[in-house]
Structure 1
Amino acid sequence: MKIVTGGAGFIGSNIVKKLNERGIDDIIVIDDLTDGRKCRNLQGLDFFDYIDYEVFAGEMADGSFDYGTIDVIFHEGACSDTMNYDGRYMMKNNYEGSKNILHYCMERKIPFLYASSASTYGSGKNGFREEPACEEALNPYAYSKLQFDRYVRRMLPFSQGQVAGFRYFNVFGPQENHKDRMASLIFQKYRELREKGKITLFEGTAGYENGGQIRDFIYVNDVVNVLFYFWEHPELSGIYNCGTGKGHTFNEFVSGIISYCGKGSVEYVPFPEILKGKYQSYTTADTTKLMAAGYDKGFTPLEEAVKEYCGILAKNGGYYA
Structure 2
Amino acid sequence: MARYLITGVAGFIGSSLAHELLQQGHEVIGVDNLTAGDVHNLDGIIRDLDFRVMDVNETSRLRECCRGVDFVLHQAALASVPRSVRDPLSTHVANVDGTLSVLLAARDAGVSRVVYAASSSAYGNKSSQPKHEEMLPDPLSPYAAQKLAGEYYVRSFWHVYGLEGVCLRYFNVFGPRQSSDSPYSGVIAKFASEMLKGESPLIFGDGNQSRDFTSIDNVVSANLLACTTPAAEV
Shared fold, TM over 0.5: yes
- Are 1:122 and 1:136, in contact at CA under 8 Å, matched by a contact in 2? yes
Task: Read off the aligned partner of 1:97 and give its amino acid letter.
Answer: G
| Alpha-carbon offset, residue 179 of structure 1 | 6.1
> Which residue matches 1:77?
76
Question: In structure 1, what is the Cα distance between the partners aligned to 2:62 and 2:222?
Answer: 31
> Which residue matches 1:95?
96
- Tell me the alpha carbon deviations over residues 23-79 of structure 1, each in whole angstroms, 9 at most, x when there is no partner: 22x2111112246x712101001534222232x422x1x587324311111100000
| Closer, same or farther: CA 138–102 of 1 in aligned 2, 3 Å | same
Question: In structure 1, what is the Cα distance between the partners aligned to 2:44 and 2:62?
Answer: 31
| Closer, same or farther: CA 16–64 of 1 in aligned 2, 3 Å | closer
| Alpha-carbon offset, residue 80 of structure 1 | 0.6
- Are 2:103 and 2:157, in contact at CA under 8 Å, matched by a contact in 1? no
- Are 2:119 and 2:147, in contact at CA under 8 Å, matched by a contact in 1? yes
| Closer, same or farther: CA 77–34 of 1 in aligned 2, 3 Å | closer
| Closer, same or farther: CA 142–74 of 1 in aligned 2, 3 Å | same
> Which residue matches 1:43?
43
> Which residue matches 2:177?
175
- Are 1:111 and 1:234, in contact at CA under 8 Å, matched by a contact in 2? no
| Alpha-carbon offset, residue 130 of structure 1 | 1.9
Q: 1:296-311, aligned counterparts within 5 Å? A: none
Aligned to 1:93, the other structure's residue is in SS state: helix
Question: In structure 1, what is the Cα distance between the partners aligned to 2:11 and 2:44?
Answer: 14
Question: In structure 1, what is the Cα distance between the partners aligned to 2:138 and 2:90?
Answer: 20
Counterpart among 51, 66, 73 of residue 64 in structure 2 = 66
Aligned to 2:133, the other structure's residue is in SS state: coil
| Alpha-carbon offset, residue 201 of structure 1 | 1.5
- Tell me the alpha carbon deviations over residues 95-149 of structure 1, each in whole angstroms, 9 at most, x when there is no partner: 011012113323424210110010111112366222462x222222111101222
Task: Read off the aligned partner of 2:81 and give its amino acid letter.
Answer: T
Q: Which blocks of at least 5 consecutive residues in structure 2 are unaligned?
A: none
> Which residue matches 1:276?
none
Question: What is the TM-score when the length of structure 2 is the normalising length?
Answer: 0.86
Counterpart among 194, 214, 219 of residue 218 in structure 1 = 214
- The aligned length equals 226
Aligned to 2:147, the other structure's residue is in SS state: helix
Which structure 1 residue ranges, 4+ long, deviate > 4 Å from structure 2? none
| Closer, same or farther: CA 41–163 of 1 in aligned 2, 3 Å | same
Identity among equivalent positions (%) equals: 27
Question: In structure 2, what is the Cα distance between the partners aligned to 1:111 and 1:13?
Answer: 20
Task: Read off the aligned partner of 2:142 and give its amino acid letter.
Answer: P
> Which residue matches 1:5?
7
Question: In structure 2, what is the Cα distance between the partners aligned to 1:178 and 1:31?
Answer: 20
Aligned to 1:66, the other structure's residue is in SS state: helix
| Closer, same or farther: CA 109–193 of 1 in aligned 2, 3 Å | closer
Question: What is the TM-score when the length of structure 1 is the normalising length?
Answer: 0.64
Task: Read off the aligned partner of 1:66 and give its amino acid letter.
Answer: E
Q: Which blocks of at least 5 consecutive residues in structure 1 are unaligned?
A: 204-209, 237-291, 294-321
> Which residue matches 1:104?
105
| Alpha-carbon offset, residue 177 of structure 1 | 1.6
- Tell me the alpha carbon deviations over residues 135-175 of structure 1, each in whole angstroms, 9 at most, x when there is no partner: 22222211110122233333332243420010000100011
| Alpha-carbon offset, residue 190 of structure 1 | 1.4
| Closer, same or farther: CA 80–98 of 1 in aligned 2, 3 Å | same
Task: Read off the aligned partner of 1:130 and give its amino acid letter.
Answer: E
Question: In structure 1, what is the Cα distance between the partners aligned to 2:193 and 2:28?
Answer: 33
- Are 1:113 and 1:227, in contact at CA under 8 Å, matched by a contact in 2? yes
